[in-house]
Structure 1
Amino acid sequence: MLFKIAVDCIIFTYDQQAHQLQVLLIRRENAPAQGEWALPGGFVDQLEDFAVTAARKLRQETGVDVSYLEQVQAYALTDPTAGQRLASVAYYALLDVAHYAPAADRTHYAQWVDLAQLPVLPFDHGQKVQDAWRRLQEAARHRPVPFHLLPRKFPLNHLQKFYEALYQVPLDNRNFRKWVKGLPYVEALAEVEQGVSHRPSQLYQFNTAAYSAYEQITQRTPY
């Protein structure tokens, strides 16, 4: 029996204009599922850590380069071809789309797609996206997840919209602001928004040093 191992990458970003979480997909060039949207990845074909393979495949297929991937879990899938068995390991990462857009020569088959409009994906890729999304939701309960996806300075309503997109539920404005202002690593600035048509909102930023101290106290590992 032939046994193969594959890696798949679930790369999330956040569209600040549409307030939507997005995932990076590629259009498969080869069979099976040729021409369909799928996750970047491929077979492990070198003696290297799976995460290194995943990052390399992602870079080759999309032009997107990442320094860190977090494992979601391992999966077992019987290959449609008789006598083959396939295992795969899924990884996810968060990227600011302003800095990590697909390379210009790859955009014809590598695109960001809203999670709310995700097409039916081949193999078990749809399940992997859902599993990574749940992992991201869990991480956001005690890690500064949005600060990987928002500008360095932001108003609280933008932060609230991110959490609403992440959990797909509306949040009470007063309770949300009370919760955020209680976080020791979210720092209020003596600045307001510029160039907006509405009343400018106060700006906030993520304080790395304060979070490091908070992490040591709570013994939590940052994303």
Structure 2
Amino acid sequence: MANQVLSRAQVLCFLDALENEVLAYQVPVVDLIAVQTTDPYRVLVATVLSSRTKDEVTAGAATRLFERAPNPEALASLAVHEIAQLIYPVGFYQTKARQLPTLAAILIARYDGAVPDTIEALLELPGVGRKTANLVLSAAFGKPAICVDTHVHRIMNIWGFVATGSPQETEMVLRRRLPKRYWSKVNRFLVAFGQKTCRPIGPQCDICLLATKCPRIGVQPRKTKREPMHAI
């Protein structure tokens, strides 16, 4: 199917197929934390740490930080250099070390130490962009929210379901085109799929379960003769 964009029904079929596929994949660290705790503070902080950082690095940094700062009050009391030492080597750790105590102080001053559950309030916190805010709403509060990172943005464009130039544009299109029951699933499915199979460099189209139907818009697949596994 060369460069023929997918219909809404086909995209929903793809997402349903991926739901079973990604069960065997490693769970993203933020989703794992959300399963292990009902504390929105930990989900928020872990999500901030996870930006531009591998999951295993985020997991270690979050564990070290939460041992010293299990709540906003403790985090606000830590010095910036202490936080930097605890979260190193997450991406932009020095910037995040400056942002986190300010974030905690705002939670204490404005929300009595609680994490707000609206995207507008979350976006006012330092270090929180739309991707982080949507992920917190979904993972911590169970609210329908579409978290669009580079994987979601890239794969939706590969499928031709959107033709957008930025993750925020992709989010707005998906809000209009996807049923709400899929909103919280999109990031979890496509991040795992994008890390393991539909990679930005060297995508494994030859073993992809969607290989026979994917438009592959803009994709240069690896040169290999392996057959697709569990194709739909």
TM, length-normalised to structure 2 = 0.30
TM, length-normalised to structure 1 = 0.31
